[in-house]
Amino acid sequence: MAAVEFIKDLCTPALIIDLDQMKRNAEGMLERFHTLGVQLRPHMKTHKTLECADIMTGGSRRCIVVSTLAEAAFYADNGYDDILYAYPLPFDKVERCAELSERLSLFQVMVDNHLALQELKKRPLKQGQVWKVWMKLDCDNGRAGVPHCDPAALQLALEIWDTSGVELMGIYAHCGNTYACQGEQQIKAVAQDTTKIVLQFMEKLEAAGIKGVKSSIGSTPSCSQPVPDMALLSEVHPGNYIFYDVQQSLIGSCSLEDVAVRVLTRVIGHYPHRNQLLVDCGWTALSHDGGGRLPTGYAIIEGHPELKLLSMTQEHGRVEPISGKLDFKQFPLGSLLTLMPYHACATAMMHPVYFVHSKGKIIDTWKPTRGW
Ligand SMILES: Cc1ncc(COP(=O)(O)O)c(C=O)c1O
């Protein structure tokens, strides 16, 4: 139990999570894909906590995606299984992946090149176990993955399929290109394109004799605004939706009311000669993500659309009015401001502890895992 009873009494800066809203976000995603008949494999990268993972998995403690091996080990140590490490296999971490594969009933790695497969072959698993491998396909996102139109994609899938000691589990595409969308229509267009490309690739696999392999796409925008054809996929893997954020509301994944996370900050200085306030939230509490591109700067200051978080240094934030003279009486030294972050994943990463509340009353504190 937290020592402080109400969020208004917390030392700042502090990351606060609205448990009721977070549960609504989790339930919404679970229901959406239950209705579509598609397995939800939630990504843990946004929060990296056990408590949140329990809510996202509906208590099953199975079927999750992680972005670091630190997350994988943390969840494995706490009773989770069926973990997919959805990151291009780093060669320095093969031994740690092998240990997790040997310890869990289903630990899965991801490859997007022939050399990574060779690394797995060099480290056979003990007691006849096999490496469980997903192949990453780049469906025009332009990050990791074999480009979908490159013949090397089918070749790599065939090579994984034919390699002894290795089992091809699925094809994974992350449609991060939905982050360039504005509005439902554009999101749905990218979701449709990605789904179509993956399903066509699955047909190619079938034609080549590769059967029983799963397909997975996802991002918070595409899974918040899914297209009917996504029902033909085996899995989806969104993560940010658990908190949502200002960025997601601008893309069209959610409304601002759905955002479950805030940074609480206090006014620490008045500078009338600059028409500015200083707050105790620097980039160590919010991150610089978003680059200050909002009309309100680096965040939305809740209840104060007239204010802008203009800039941050490590522990200080400069706040000024968007126009006109600041009424300093409204913001006495020590008073609280509530920041809605641009990118919740980046903001949460800055905090060693999250304060979880229901209607302003603190009901728990959660500690995320960190590292790689
Ligand atoms: C490989 C991978 N899968 C899934 C996700 C989850 O997507 P989102 O953060 O849009 O929910 C991410 C997020 O960056 C990712 O990198």
Ligand 1 within 6 A of 220 CB? Answer: yes
283: in domain: yes
The residue out of 214, 242, 270 marking a domain boundary is: 242
- Whether 165 and 263 share a structural domain: no
Task: Report the CATH number that the domain containing residue 56 is assigned in CATH.
Answer: 3.20.20.10
Give me the CATH number covering residue 351.
2.40.37.20
Same domain, 323 and 188: no
Find the largest Cα–Cα distance for the chain.
74
Domain membership flag for residue 11: no
Q: Ligand 1 pocket: which of 237, 241, 248, 249 to mutate (most atoms <8 Å of CB)?
A: 237
Domain endpoint, select from 193, 209, 242: 242
Residues 121 and 231 in one domain: yes
CA of 34 to the centre of ligand 1 (A): 20
Residues 212 and 67 placed together within one structural domain of the fold: yes
Same domain, 290 and 315: yes
Which residues are bridge partners to 39 per DSSP? 235
Q: What SS3 class is residue 217?
A: strand
Residues 43 and 106 in one domain: yes
Q: What is the number of other CB atoms lying within 10 angstroms of the CB of residue 140?
A: 16
Q: Are residues 154 and 231 in the same domain?
A: yes
Residues whose CB is less than 8 angstroms from the CB of residue 346 and which lie 6 or more positions away in sequence, other chains included: 287, 289
The residue segments making up the domain with residue 54 are: 38-242
User: Looking at the structure, do residues 87 and 147 belong to the same domain, yes or no?
Assistant: yes
Q: What string of pLDDT tens digits covers the 372 residues of the chain?
A: 448 999 999 999 999 999 999 999 999 999 999 999 999 999 999 999 999 999 999 999 999 999 999 999 999 999 999 999 999 999 999 999 999 999 999 999 999 999 999 999 999 999 999 999 999 999 999 999 999 999 999 999 999 999 999 999 999 999 999 999 999 999 999 999 999 999 999 999 999 999 999 999 999 999 999 999 999 999 999 999 999 999 999 999 999 999 999 999 999 999 999 999 999 999 999 999 999 999 999 999 999 999 999 999 999 999 999 999 999 999 999 999 999 999 999 999 999 999 999 999 999 999 999 999
Q: Which of 172, 207, 242 is the last residue of a domain?
A: 242
Using one digit for the tens of pLDDT, what is the confidence trace for 314-348? 999 999 999 999 999 999 999 999 999 999 999 99
The domain tally of the chain equals 2
Distance 343 CA to ligand 1 centre (A): 13
Q: Does 41 sit in the ligand 1 pocket, CB within 6 Å?
A: no
Integer Cα distance of 98 and 128 in angstroms? 13
Does residue 87 form part of some domain?
A: yes
Q: Does residue 209 share a domain with residue 174?
A: yes
Say yes or no: 157 and 275 in one domain: no
43: CA distance to ligand 1 center in Å? 7
User: Does residue 238's CB lie within 6 angstroms of at least one atom of ligand 1?
Assistant: yes
Q: Is the CB of 287 under 6 A from ligand 1?
A: no
| Burial category of 79 from C-beta neighbours within 10 Å (exposed 0-12, middle 13-18, buried 19 and up) | exposed
CA–CA separation, 118 and 133 (whole Å) = 13
Tell me, in angstroms, the distance from the centre of ligand 1 to residue 9's CA.
34
Q: Is residue 316 part of a domain?
A: yes
Supply 145's token pair: 């993955």
Same domain, 280 and 343: yes
User: How high is the ipTM of this complex?
Assistant: 0.99
Q: What are residue 215's DSSP bridge partners?
A: 171
Length of the chain: 372
Please indicate, yes or no, whether residues 349 and 319 belong to a single structural domain of this protein.
yes
| Residue nearest (by alpha carbon) to ligand 1 atom 2 | 174
Residue 371 lies in a domain: no
Q: Measure 174 CA to ligand 1 centroid, in angstroms.
A: 6
